[in-house]
Amino acid sequence: MTRQEGISIGAALAAHVALLAGLSLAWQRQMQMLPSPDDAVAVELVTIADAPRVPEPPQPSIAAAPQEAASAPAEAAPAPEPVQADAVPPPEPPRPRPEPRPTAAPLKAPASPLDTSSLASLIDKSLPKAPKQTLDTSKLAKDINAAAPARATIDPRAAATLAQAIRGQVAPCWNPPVGGRDVRRMTVIVSVRYGRDGRVIGLPQAGTPTGTTSANADYARAFAETARRAVLRCQPLKLPAELYELWQAVEINFDPDEMT
Amino acid sequence: MRLIPFMLALGLPAAVLAQAPLRVDINAGLMQPMPIAVPAFAPGNGGNTEAGTTTALGQRAAQVIAADLKSSGLFRPIDPAAYTSAVGLDEVVKPEFPAWRTIAAQALVTGTITANADGGITLACYAYDVFAGSEIARQGFVTTAAGWRRAAHKCADLVYARLTGESGYFDSRIVYVSETGPRTKRIKRLAIMDQDGAGHRFLTSGQNLVLTPRFAPEQQTITYMSFENNRPRVWLYTLGSGRQEAVGQFAAMTFAPRFSPDGQTLVFSMSVGGNADIYRFTLATRQTTRLTTGAGIDTAPSYSPDGSQIVFESDRGGSQQIYVMNADGSNQHRISFGDGRSASPVWSPRGDYIAFTRIGGGRFGIGVMRPDGGGERLLTNGYQDESPTWSPNGRVILFARSDRAGRSGLWSVDVSGLNERRLATPLDASDPAWSPLLP
């Protein structure tokens, strides 16, 4: 290879490189995208203290891990025993099913996709009926007294009438978490103590919902809290004072089987 | 109550027994959004950030959180006009519960925003059960000043998760195809935005037609179909760098791509001589495996969340219907038997439902069915509702809705069929894909 050949090969090579570079630049230009968004900025989780008045960011600290202040329903006192025990004293017929409730029929509507506003209006119309019926406590007491025998045992009819009155006053405040995967399988019992003024004494105790597993424990806790919230929101109850002995302690079983 | 038999044995008076708790059954409640108060977050210090003062950020963060919760349809943020007095630092951690009860707030979210020495911020988020009078959650978030919206979304996710028992979905993004121009000369661009529509940006210039974008699980990569160089095939796009790469060197057209849940594999359709089949492409080894072989068009594959099965659409039986197969292509069986045709199936991230497009009677609607084909429900019924995609928690479905005039936009609906709402986009929109939760 002569020197001249060498030079021309070198020049050709250089020209090719330049051409390639130019081409790839052109290609890059053709491929050019709009400025891409930056990667999402990082967000770091830290624990926070009781006093937020901090000039400096709180130090991330495992020791100061947030403690659950609310008593989790799962830790609540064990749910009272099944209610069958109540039926021990005098021989008692099976607890009568409550009378057909005015709230039931309209609440079935949500099965089909409805728009919420029309749904709400349906429910709004239907619900006031129940509480209104129960407001006449003197009549209620009369009914119950008429039904109750002279002795101070719980007559099943009296208990059923009282239960219906409580249901009518508490159900409108229950907002169960609908749409959750496990909602239809869950029920929870809330134990409540009422004062003579119809107000809740202390914090009602929610038991562990049926159907709770390790996989849905968060959902079960939220579910139990909706039941406790219903009891706390709808008070004081308006119930016949002369029958206070019967309703001072109540176990309410929340079961959304008629929802959805 | 264990004492009762004992007491009976002792012959105690029946009056004592009468005090056993009265039992009440409640079988129905009200389906209505929970009233929740989200007052402006208090400034943790008087600092200023490049995104604004801590006071201004505190107001905007509360607005973002309230809007997130409201959009779920499960919460009703109370109008701040109902509680005019600002929540000070002391009240952030010691709320006046009786005052919140009087305005019927069932839950309360308070917080602070503090400017940090490095220019970033700390958002502290506290949630309370107002009627029980107790704190139910708290978490701090440290980020850049520009990241305040993400911190607010994370706070909203914390509150949502604690009060519903389901994981949140507000700290997530949506990629979709933005459309503009006349039907004959439609310009389609990839665009990305936050789940609430904020931070909207275009990713591609519109030079080439793009379709069906889908997020990788790690969210920095999007797969989609593009007609780059008039050759329809599957591409990968890397966020941040903006890098674009064609998937495989196939002579045939490839389309309808989607990632596996572990992000290691792509599934897509490849069309050879009018017969489209589903293929699996392993990203690390570039190996391609054919999963379906029948005549007709097999397309729109979507993995189950555990990666063991794939749902897809096929016209092998004469019309578009939905089929499920194992991830290796075995055990292919039809699951949709409703009226009309069924298309574009997507498996829910929580695994319990498959969303799909129902086509019949000249209309397109969005429906869900269980993976065995049972429990079918139609959630929407528009003129043309299609391309469903799930929120990261499997609770909400986002879809594209077109009207007769050809205008299109993004809408969402709760899996219960309630809470249908529009998600605003700058231009017409189609083919949405919801990202997983951001890390």
pLDDT for residue B123: 96
Give which of B7, B23, B135 to mutate to test A binding, by max A Cβ within 10 Å. B23
Lowest mean pLDDT among A130-134, B47-51, B417-421: A130-134
Assess if residue A192 is contained within a domain: yes
What percentage of chain B carries pLDDT values higher than 90? Answer: 79
Q: How confident is the prediction for chain B on average, in pLDDT?
A: 92
Whole-number Cα distances in Å, B359 to B11, B384, B406: 73, 9, 17
Average pLDDT over residues B249-260: 92
Q: Is the pLDDT of residue B190 over 90?
A: yes
Tell me how far apart the 2 most distant CA atoms of chain B are, in Å.
96
Name the residue with higher pLDDT: A136 or B221. B221
Assess if residue A125 is contained within a domain: no
Yes or no, beta carbons of B147 and A57 under 8 Å apart: no
pLDDT for residue A53: 45
pLDDT for residue A5: 55
| pLDDT single digits (tens) A196-231 | 999 999 999 999 999 888 888 899 999 999 999 999
Assess if residue A56 is contained within a domain: no
Q: Give contacts of B26 with chain A, Cβ < 8 Å.
A: 167, 170-171, 174, 230, 252-255
Whole-number Cα distances in Å, B187 to B179, B248, B386, B408, B428: 6, 26, 20, 13, 10
Q: Is the peptide bond before A236 cis (omega within 30 degrees of 0)?
A: yes
Q: Give contacts of A248 with chain B, Cβ < 8 Å.
A: 19
| pLDDT single digits (tens) B142-155 | 999 999 999 999 99
Assess if residue A225 is contained within a domain: yes
Name the residue with higher pLDDT: A250 or B28. A250
Domain of residue A176, residue span: 136-260
Q: How confident is the prediction for chain A on average, in pLDDT?
A: 63
Average pLDDT over residues A178-206: 87
B34-164 folds as Rossmann fold (3.40.50)
- How many CA atoms within 13 Å lie on the side-chain side of B169? 24
In angstroms, what separates the C-alpha of B143 from chain A's closest C-alpha?
Answer: 5
pLDDT for residue A131: 42
Model confidence band, residue B64 (pLDDT cutoffs 50, 70, 90):
very high
Query: Where do you find CATH 2.120.10.30 in chain B?
Result: 173-434
CB B214 within 8 A of CB B224: yes
Name the residue with higher pLDDT: B386 or A156. B386
> Total structural domains in chain A?
1
- Closest residue in chain A to residue B29, using alpha carbons only: A174
Angle (CA) B424-A177-B129 rounded to 5° is 95
Name the residue with higher pLDDT: A144 or B92. B92
* Distance (Å, whole) CA B12 – CA A152: 13
Q: Which residue in the set A71, A151, A247 is minimally distant from B22, CB to CB?
A: A247
Assess if residue A8 is contained within a domain: no
Residue with tokens 């790690």: B218
Q: Which B residues in the span 15-34 are in contact with A, Cβ-Cβ below 8 Å?
A: 15, 17-32, 34
pLDDT for residue A171: 93
Q: What is the DSSP letter of B167?
A: -
Domain with residue A208: its CATH number is 3.30.1150.10
Lowest mean pLDDT among A14-23, A232-241, B51-60: A14-23
Average pLDDT over residues B253-274: 94
Name the residue with higher pLDDT: B325 or B11. B325
| pLDDT single digits (tens) B72-104 | 999 999 999 998 778 999 999 999 999 999 999
Model confidence band, residue B329 (pLDDT cutoffs 50, 70, 90):
very high
Q: Give contacts of A56 with chain B, Cβ < 8 Å.
A: 116-117
Model confidence band, residue A62 (pLDDT cutoffs 50, 70, 90):
very low
pLDDT for residue A98: 43
Model confidence band, residue B362 (pLDDT cutoffs 50, 70, 90):
confident
B173-434 folds as Neuraminidase (2.120.10)
